[in-house]
Amino acid sequence: MNYNLNNQPAGERKSSTWTGLKSLLKLVEQERKKLILALAAILLNSSLNLLGPFLIGHTIDKYIQTKQYHGVLVFSGILLTMYLVAFITSYFQTSLMGGIGQRIIFELRNAIFNKIQQLPVAFFNENKAGDLISRVNNDTDKLNQFFSQALMQFISSIMMMIGAGIFLLIINVKLGLATLVPGLFILIFTRAISPWVKHKNALNLKSTGGMSAEIQESLNNFKVIIAFNRRDYFRKRFDTVNQENYRTAIGSGLANSVFLPVFGLFSSIAQLTVLSFGIYLITQGNFSVGLLVSYLSYATNFYNPLRQLASLWTSFQVALAGWDRISQILSLSSNLVTLSAETGQEQTDAVLEFRNVHFGYTGGYEILHNISFTMKPGKTYALVGPTGGGKTTTASIMARLYDPQQGTVLLKGRDIRSYTPEERAEKIGFILQEPFLFTGTVKENILYSNERFHKYSSEEFIGVLKAARLEGLLTTFDKGLDTDILSGGDSLSIGQKQLIAFMRAVLRQPELLILDEATANIDTITEQLLGQILDNLPKETTLVIIAHRLNTIENADEIFFINSGEVSPAGSFKEAVDKLMSGKRTS
Partner 1 sequence: MKEQINSDKKRSPGLFSLLRPYAGMVTLLILFALFSNGLNLWLPRLIGHGIDAYNSGNFSYQIMIKEFLGVAVIIFIFSYLQGIVQTFASERVARDLRMRIAVKISGQSFAFIEKANPSKLLTNLTSDVDSIKLFVSQAIVSIVSSLFIIIGASVLLLTINWKLGLTTIAIIPIIGGAFYTVLKKVKVLFKKSREVIDWLNKVINESILGSALIRVINSQQLEYDKFFAASNQAKDIGVSILRLFAWLIPIIVFTANMAGLTILALGGHYVINGSMTIGDFAAFNSYLALLIFPILVIGFMSNVIAQATASFARISQVLDTEDQPETGKLDTAVSGEIEIKNIQISYGQKAILKDISFKVEPGEKIAVIGPTAAGKTQLLYLLTGLIPATSGSVLYDGKPIDAYDAEAFHSQVGFVFQDSIMFNMSIRENIAFSDTVTDESLGKAIATAELKDFVDALPAGLDTQVSERGLSLSGGQKQRIMLARALAVNPKVLLLDDFTARVDNQTEQKILENIGLNYPGLTLISVTQKIASVENYAKIILLMQGEMLAAGTHEELMGSCPEYVQIFNSQQSTSQYEL
Residues 449-478 that bind partner 1 (CB under 8 A): 449, 476-478
CA nearest 184: which of 82, 53, 176?
Answer: 176
Does residue 550 interact with partner 1 by CB under 8 A?
yes
- The SS3 call for residue 407 is strand
By C-beta, is 118 or 406 nearer to partner 1?
118
Stretch 115-154: interaction string toward partner 1, x if CB under 8 A: -xxx-xx-xxxx-xxx-xx--xxx---------x------
By C-beta, is 101 or 176 nearer to partner 1?
101
* Residues 417, 398: Cα–Cα separation, whole Å: 11
Question: Which one among 29, 364, 455, 459 touches partner 1, defined by CB under 8 A?
Answer: 364
Q: How far is the CB of 400 from partner 1 (least distance, A)?
A: 9
Does residue 521 interact with partner 1 by CB under 8 A?
yes
Does residue 341 interact with partner 1 by CB under 8 A?
no
Stretch 7-36: interaction string toward partner 1, x if CB under 8 A: ------------------------------
What residues have CB less than 8 Å from 180, skipping those under 6 apart? Answer: 165, 168, 169, 270, 302
Question: Which one among 40, 52, 355, 480 touches partner 1, defined by CB under 8 A?
Answer: 52
CA nearest 270: which of 281, 282, 278?
Answer: 278
Provide the total of helices (H) and of strands (E) in the chain, helices listed first: 20, 12
- The SS3 call for residue 349 is coil
# residues contacting partner 1 (CB under 8 A): 173
- The SS3 call for residue 386 is coil
Q: How far is the CB of 276 from partner 1 (least distance, A)?
A: 6
CA nearest 255: which of 200, 335, 214, 328?
Answer: 200
Does residue 219 interact with partner 1 by CB under 8 A?
yes
Stretch that binds partner 1, among 159-167, 169-177, 195-203, 220-228 (CB under 8 A): 220-228
The Cα-based distances of 36 to 30, 87, 92, 105, 566 in angstroms read 11, 19, 12, 19, 64
Binding residues among 79-118 for partner 1 as defined by CB under 8 A:
79-80, 83-84, 86-88, 90-91, 94-95, 98-99, 102-103, 105-106, 109-110, 113-114, 116-118
By C-beta, is 237 or 358 nearer to partner 1?
237
Binding residues among 495-514 for partner 1 as defined by CB under 8 A:
495-496, 498-499, 508
What residues have CB less than 8 Å from 71, skipping those under 6 apart? Answer: 59, 62, 63
- The H or E element spanning position 181 is helix 173-220
By C-beta, is 340 or 582 nearer to partner 1?
582
Question: Which one among 216, 327, 328, 441 touches partner 1, defined by CB under 8 A?
Answer: 216
Question: Which one among 215, 350, 462, 464 touches partner 1, defined by CB under 8 A?
Answer: 215
Binding residues among 155-194 for partner 1 as defined by CB under 8 A:
none
Q: How far is the CB of 323 from partner 1 (least distance, A)?
A: 18
Does residue 37 interact with partner 1 by CB under 8 A?
no
Q: Please state the three-class secondary structure of 4-64 as a single string.
A: CHHHCCCHHHCCCHHHHHHHHHHHHHHHHHHHHHHHHHHHHHHHHHHHHHHHHHHHHHHHH
By C-beta, is 94 or 408 nearer to partner 1?
94
Binding residues among 225-264 for partner 1 as defined by CB under 8 A:
225-235, 238-239, 242-243, 245-246, 249-250, 253-254, 256-258, 260-262, 264
Q: Any idea how long the chain is?
A: 587
Q: In what order do the strands lie in the sheet with 558-563?
A: 428-431, 512-516, 542-546, 380-384, 558-563, 566-571
Question: Which one among 482, 523, 535, 575 touches partner 1, defined by CB under 8 A?
Answer: 523
Number of Cβ within 10 Å of residue 395's Cβ equals: 23
Stretch that binds partner 1, among 32-40, 160-168, 195-203, 428-436 (CB under 8 A): 428-436
Can you say whether residue 544 is alpha, beta or left, with left for phi > 0 and alpha for psi between -120 and 50 degrees? beta
CA nearest 132: which of 5, 43, 265, 261?
Answer: 5
Crossing angle for the helix pair 69-118 and 151-171, to the nearest 10 degrees: 140
Stretch 58-77: interaction string toward partner 1, x if CB under 8 A: -xx--xxx-x-x--xx-xx-
Question: Which one among 30, 361, 372, 532 touches partner 1, defined by CB under 8 A?
Answer: 361
CA nearest 555: which of 581, 584, 576, 583?
Answer: 576
Stretch that binds partner 1, among 351-359, 409-417, 423-431, 460-468 (CB under 8 A): 423-431
* C-alpha Rg value of the chain to the nearest Å: 34
By C-beta, is 193 or 282 nearer to partner 1?
282
Q: Please state the three-class secondary structure of 545-579 as a single string.
A: EECCCHHHHCCCCEEEEEECCEEEEEECHHHHHHH
Number of Cβ within 10 Å of residue 331's Cβ equals: 11
Stretch that binds partner 1, among 166-174, 344-352, 419-427, 461-469 (CB under 8 A): 419-427
Binding residues among 281-340 for partner 1 as defined by CB under 8 A:
282, 289, 292-293, 296-297, 300, 304
Q: How far is the CB of 577 from partner 1 (least distance, A)?
A: 5
- The H or E element spanning position 306 is helix 289-330
* Residues 333, 2: Cα–Cα separation, whole Å: 10
Binding residues among 381-400 for partner 1 as defined by CB under 8 A:
384-389, 391-392, 399
